[in-house]
Amino acid sequence: MAKEGITPRAQDYSQWYLDIVRQADLADYAEVVRGCIVFKPTGYAIWEGIQRGLDERIKATGHVNAYFPLLIPKSFLMREAEHVEGFAPEVIEVTRGGGEELTEPYVVRPTSETIIGYFYAKWVRSWRDLPLLINQWANVMRWEMRTRPFLRTAEFLWQEGHTVHATEQDAERETLMILNDVYTDFVEQEMAIPVIRGIKTEREKFPGALRSYCIEAMMQDGRALQAGTSHNLGQNFARVFDITFTDQNNTIQHAWTTSWGVSTRLIGALIMAHSDDDGLIIPPRLAPTQVVVVPIYRNDAERTIVMEAVQRITALWRGKLRFRIDDRDNLTPGFKFNEWELKGIPVRIEIGPRDVQQETVAIARRDIPGRPGKSFVSQNGLLERIEALLSEIQQSLFDRALAFRDAHMFDATTYDELIAHVDHGFVRCYWAGSTEDEKRIQEETRATIRCIPLDQPTEAGRCVLTGTETTQQVIFARAY
Amino acid sequence: MAKEGITPRAQDYSQWYLDIVRQADLADYAEVVRGCIVFKPTGYAIWEGIQRGLDERIKATGHVNAYFPLLIPKSFLMREAEHVEGFAPEVIEVTRGGGEELTEPYVVRPTSETIIGYFYAKWVRSWRDLPLLINQWANVMRWEMRTRPFLRTAEFLWQEGHTVHATEQDAERETLMILNDVYTDFVEQEMAIPVIRGIKTEREKFPGALRSYCIEAMMQDGRALQAGTSHNLGQNFARVFDITFTDQNNTIQHAWTTSWGVSTRLIGALIMAHSDDDGLIIPPRLAPTQVVVVPIYRNDAERTIVMEAVQRITALWRGKLRFRIDDRDNLTPGFKFNEWELKGIPVRIEIGPRDVQQETVAIARRDIPGRPGKSFVSQNGLLERIEALLSEIQQSLFDRALAFRDAHMFDATTYDELIAHVDHGFVRCYWAGSTEDEKRIQEETRATIRCIPLDQPTEAGRCVLTGTETTQQVIFARAY
């Protein structure tokens, strides 16, 4: 039985997604600003949780935050050949300021390698200045033709790390450390979304990078979502912007740089990985509100008794749980239950006059709807019980997503098998094809190589397309 | 005896400011992006402290964060008559996207009343939707001719609160609550800068506001810096964007809105309120690093002994102090002392081999340079001693700034007195002049009315310019 206002996933996954965004009050379309959305408070609070978790990890691994200009001279973008090809078609241009035409136009940053490269060239002098480990939280813009809230919008929010190193190995170590210790750890531990770590093919890599690493997550329709990327830029940007340093032998060398980012797309990933036909589901560690308490009463006398109990019980929670008490007087409990289910609050506590008398409460877990997820427990030891339940829900969401992915991961040995499976999940296969072959497969199946997983088989096999023997496996999938 | 690289305040205050910005490594000029700066890590970390302190207070007073588009249709800005006059001359315009001319140009937000007003009109329907209490952390741009790092830059970072209320009283209460409980409390308690609360004159108010409240701080050259503003917008923007609601009597009414903001200017205020000729001084509550530990040794054996003590001592500090251990091997202690003085770390701890033996350390406080600020104490109870010292420094910086302000606050009864004093501080005087008079005084003295203080005298007096009797006092000052 579907909830009002939410199209069931099985019926229309794409519409289901848009319904969740609207019903959970996460975003609004900014129809007056092409391709943009408003991040409404409920949606932005999720982003604040993502920021907090990532920022902690970014700092714990030795990085500091800074802020670089929004506008980039258009000519900067044109300096790196691949980079210009990748980004020039979708830039937003600033041509007037203070009522006058500008002699040199700016673009609104689509990404900041170029402008940051310019400053790093000024700041880096000696090997003693390295590594330079800086991150930026910022808005970026790309002119997108087809937009979807959170997944693809003209303006989005992200963090972009930009680092400089003395050697290729140092840059490579940084690139992988971010992939593992920051992105994978955050997305799996806090967002409860299992990811596959891998390298992008030449065709899919970041414009201007030597190597792009990524984490790919499976959504509930079997499609892939790139949840984060970490690029070893080699010396490409260092050459173009002349980022050089004097090494310990007093020789001037070009530096090695990296860049890495995750964005508000992660909110889209969160929705599509966990939510159900009743609304959003937020993993407890990330949830801005972990527990909502709904007092139940029919008159002022009952209200007084119940609210007294609510205050007494929740007094113990301060600083330990993120909770709210929904004491709005003009709404029925049923309306409130529905609203908090839509908004994905992990745990709901209900207390009525009888509960007060019996020193009990009802607990409902969001990840298991209806009766099966509901229990009636003593108020005694409630905090510990809720804390344990939140951990259980966190783990259960991860396990469920992992089981789903396992069930939708197919091994293909022929192109026909690839075609047969790629509409329903990830296809893992041996691959020795060319960039042209990749392009052809995309045209025929709408699937792309999401990554060459870091976990590779020990035995060789035959390429799914060409039959050539190879030890390299890749993951094909249709992607967001 | 001036420090190398810092022009003494007494010699050239303006150059001193720029020297502090450079020597403390707070910002870099973005000469390739007109009027912009890079917020370098040391400077940005101060902004992060400001964000943390403000965000806590903004949320504690019932507001939530959201994010609205960077770009605003140019036509939106033109709808409110005063607003367009105030902002149109300094907008940055986006005219091309995706390689094509736009049919309707956008401006990069100089402030977001218009675009947010557009959405609020969609979201607000009934009195039950009110108050709507939203804040946004964002970058904004204004085309500025004369820029100074932090104080006036084309792009800057800020928070802007935008709220909607059912009645004029509610809007007025919100406006004052933000001024008192958020801005004044934060700036005085965390930044240790005393402020004067007041109302702007018609000439100085926000374009489109009914009434603008502000907090004004005195810098060490006697000039004023507007540290935050809170505007009661009346029904002006509600009328222009048609923000209406159905009240409890089922009548449709225009809502009342407010907006309020503080920006990265506060970093400029911080520098100019507290710092000295040795560098930056950051109040302990705001300081990203409160304590720096400098181990002192001449060889590896000493290093081992000293570092062991440092680790043992600081192990107790985790989670209680924000500290760093400066164990860089290639630099002398003297070099390190100088660097941390320049960067304004409130407390420095020195430990050498003899200290280890005697179970002592040396403590140097940044706000009292040289010998007088240095003491030698037992390692026993060091954490408590440091915590007490940080509180003492926090209070002492506030007291010092307040004493400075008191010493540079002049009461003028004649225009000649006003002229005589206004180059050296704030001039408080009775005022019954016109907007034209204000303009003339600015042309003659470069001073403006900073505010009509909320604290007003009980007795009437004669206007400093016209001699008319009035009960209204104002503050004149030259302003940043």
Minimum mean pLDDT range among A218-232, A351-365, B98-112, B342-356? B98-112
Confirm whether B396 is domain-assigned. Answer: no
Q: Cis peptide before B131, with omega less than 30 degrees from 0?
A: yes
Residue B423 pLDDT exceeds 90: yes
Residues B307 and B244 in one domain: no
Residues A473 and A340 in one domain: no
Confirm whether B29 is domain-assigned. Answer: no
Cβ pair A73:B32 closer than 8 A = yes
CB atoms within 10 A of CB A18: 16
Determine which of B28, B38, B156 to mutate to test the interface with A (most A C-beta atoms within 10 Å).
B38
Residues A48 and A17 in one domain: yes
Instruction: Place B86 in a pLDDT band, splitting at 50, 70 and 90.
Output: confident
Q: CA-CA distance, A158 to A441, in Å (whole number)? A: 31
Instruction: Place B19 in a pLDDT band, splitting at 50, 70 and 90.
Output: very high
Task: Give the mean pLDDT of B285-312.
Answer: 97
Cβ pair B33:A67 closer than 8 A = no
Q: What is the DSSP string of B38-54?
A: EE-HHHHHHHHHHHHHH
Cβ pair A139:B141 closer than 8 A = no
- The CA dihedral of B18, B19, B25, B30, to the nearest 10 degrees, is 40
Cβ pair B98:A143 closer than 8 A = yes
Cβ pair B30:A69 closer than 8 A = yes
Residues A192 and A320 in one domain: no
DSSP summary character for residue A222? S
> Is residue B263 within 8 Å of residue B156, measured between CB atoms?
yes
- What residues of chain B lie within 8 A of the CB of A33, using their CB? 69, 71-73, 106, 115
Task: Give the mean pLDDT of B49-68.
Answer: 98
Cα torsion A343, A478, A400, A404: sign: positive
Residues A130 and A164 in one domain: yes
Segments forming the whole domain that contains residue B440: 409-477
Cβ pair A67:B38 closer than 8 A = yes
Residues A189 and A270 in one domain: yes
> Is residue B191 within 8 Å of residue B246, measured between CB atoms?
no
> Is residue A5 within 8 Å of residue B35, measured between CB atoms?
no
Cβ pair A143:B36 closer than 8 A = no
The residue in chain B having the minimum alpha-carbon distance to the alpha carbon of residue A98 is: B90
Instruction: Among A119, A122, A157, select the one facing B67 at the smallest CB separation.
Output: A157
The residue in chain A having the minimum alpha-carbon distance to the alpha carbon of residue B122 is: A28
Residue B326 pLDDT exceeds 70: yes
Determine which of A37, A68, A126, A130 to mutate to test the interface with B (most B C-beta atoms within 10 Å).
A68
The single residue listed with the structure tokens 């374009």 is B207
Cα torsion A203, A204, A205, A206: sign: positive
Task: Give the mean pLDDT of B323-328.
Answer: 96
Any residues with CB less than 8 A from the CB of A273 and at least 6 apart, and which?
Answer: A191, A192, A193, A217, A218, A219, A220, A401
Residues A306 and A351 in one domain: yes
- State both tokens at B476: 């004149």
Confirm whether A2 is domain-assigned. Answer: no
- State both tokens at A244: 């050089």
> Is residue A312 within 8 Å of residue A318, measured between CB atoms?
no
Confirm whether A39 is domain-assigned. Answer: yes
Q: CA-CA distance, A396 to A347, in Å (whole number)? A: 14
Specify whether the backbone of B370 is left (phi greater than 0), alpha (psi in -120 to 50) or beta: left
Q: What is chain A's pLDDT, residue by residue, as a tens digit (480 residues)?
A: 568 899 999 999 999 999 999 999 999 998 899 999 999 999 999 999 999 999 999 999 999 999 999 999 999 988 888 888 888 889 999 999 998 999 889 999 999 999 999 999 999 999 999 999 999 999 999 998 889 999 999 999 999 999 999 999 999 999 999 999 999 999 999 999 999 999 999 999 999 999 999 999 999 999 999 999 999 999 999 999 999 999 999 999 999 999 999 999 999 999 999 999 999 999 999 999 999 999 999 999 999 999 999 999 999 999 999 999 999 998 999 999 999 999 999 999 999 999 999 999 999 999 999 999 999 999 999 999 999 999 999 999 999 999 999 999 999 999 999 999 999 999 999 999 999 999 999 999 999 999 999 999 999 999 999 999 999 999 999 999
Q: CA-CA distance, A66 to A472, in Å (whole number)? A: 39
Q: How many residues does chain B have?
A: 480
- Pairing outcome for strands B64-65 and A469-470: unpaired
Q: CA-CA distance, A275 to A279, in Å (whole number)? A: 6
B82 min Cα distance to partner chain A (Å): 17
- Pairing outcome for strands A291-295 and A347-351: parallel
Cα torsion B388, B393, B394, B398: sign: positive
Which residues, listed in sequence order, are joined to residue B162 by a DSSP beta bridge? B134, B259
- State both tokens at A68: 């670089």
Q: CA-CA distance, B268 to B187, in Å (whole number)? A: 13
- What residues of chain B lie within 8 A of the CB of A123, using their CB? 28
Instruction: Among A33, A69, A71, select the one facing B71 at the smallest CB separation.
Output: A33
The single residue listed with the structure tokens 């540290």 is B227
Residues B80 and B183 in one domain: yes
B392 HSE (CA, 13 A, CB side): 12
Q: What is the pLDDT of residues B440-466, one digit of tens each?
A: 999 999 999 999 999 999 999 999 999
Whichever domain contains A335, its CATH number is 3.40.50.800
Confirm whether B36 is domain-assigned. Answer: no
- End-to-end alpha-carbon separation of chain B, Å? 28
Residues A184 and A263 in one domain: yes
**Distinct helix (H) and strand (E) counts, chain A:** 15, 25
Instruction: Among A66, A88, A115, select the one facing B44 at the smallest CB separation.
Output: A66
Task: Give the mean pLDDT of B307-312.
Answer: 97
Helix (H) / strand (E) containing A217: strand A211-218
- State both tokens at B225: 């810096």
* pLDDT score recorded for residue B261: 98
Q: CA-CA distance, B140 to B107, in Å (whole number)? A: 10
Q: What is the DSSP string of A76-118?
A: HHTSSHHHHHHHGGG-EEEEEETTEEEEEEEEE-S--HHHHHH
- Pairing outcome for strands B409-411 and B374-378: unpaired
CB pairs under 8 A between A and B: 154
**Domain tally for chain B?**
3
- What residues of chain B lie within 8 A of the CB of A91, using their CB? 97-98
Helix axes B13-23, B265-274, angle to 10 degrees: 110
Using alpha carbons, select from A241, A126, A129, A133 the residue that is nearest to residue B41.
Answer: A133
Give ipTM to 2 decimals: 0.96
Helix, strand, coil shares of chain B as percentages rounded to 5? 35, 30, 35
Any residues with CB less than 8 A from the CB of A346 and at least 6 apart, and which?
Answer: A281, A282, A283, A284, A287, A290, A291, A365, A366, A367, A390, A393
Confirm whether B357 is domain-assigned. Answer: yes
Any residues with CB less than 8 A from the CB of B103 and at least 6 apart, and which?
Answer: none
Looking at every residue in chain B, the average pLDDT score rounds to: 96
Confirm whether B14 is domain-assigned. Answer: no
Residues B111 and B234 in one domain: yes
Which residues, listed in sequence order, are joined to residue A256 by a DSSP beta bridge? A165
Is residue B305 helix, strand or coil? helix
Residues B200 and B130 in one domain: yes
CA distances to A209, A224, A433 from A88, rounded to whole Å, are 16, 26, 29
Any residues with CB less than 8 A from the CB of B329 and at least 6 apart, and which?
Answer: none
Query: Domain boundary at A248, A274, A300, which?
Result: A274
Confirm whether B39 is domain-assigned. Answer: no
Cβ pair A138:B139 closer than 8 A = yes
Q: What are phi and psi of A374, to 5 degrees?
A: -110, 140
* pLDDT score recorded for residue A1: 54
Residue B81 pLDDT exceeds 90: no
Instruction: Among A41, A67, A76, select the one facing B157 at the smallest CB separation.
Output: A67
Whichever domain contains A257, its CATH number is 3.30.930.10
Q: What are phi and psi of B18, to 5 degrees?
A: -65, -35
> Is residue B475 within 8 Å of residue B457, measured between CB atoms?
no
Q: What is the pLDDT of residues B237-279, one digit of tens each?
A: 999 999 999 999 999 999 999 999 999 999 999 999 999 999 9
* pLDDT score recorded for residue A8: 97
Instruction: Place B144 in a pLDDT band, splitting at 50, 70 and 90.
Output: confident
The residue in chain B having the minimum alpha-carbon distance to the alpha carbon of residue A48 is: B65
Instruction: Among B44, B119, B330, select the one facing A38 at the smallest CB separation.
Output: B119
Q: CA-CA distance, B212 to B179, in Å (whole number)? A: 10
- What residues of chain B lie within 8 A of the CB of A86, using their CB? none
Residues B263 and B347 in one domain: no
DSSP summary character for residue B228? E
- What residues of chain A lie within 8 A of the CB of B76, using their CB? 32
Is residue B95 helix, strand or coil? strand
* pLDDT score recorded for residue B1: 54
Q: CA-CA distance, B20 to B220, in Å (whole number)? A: 14
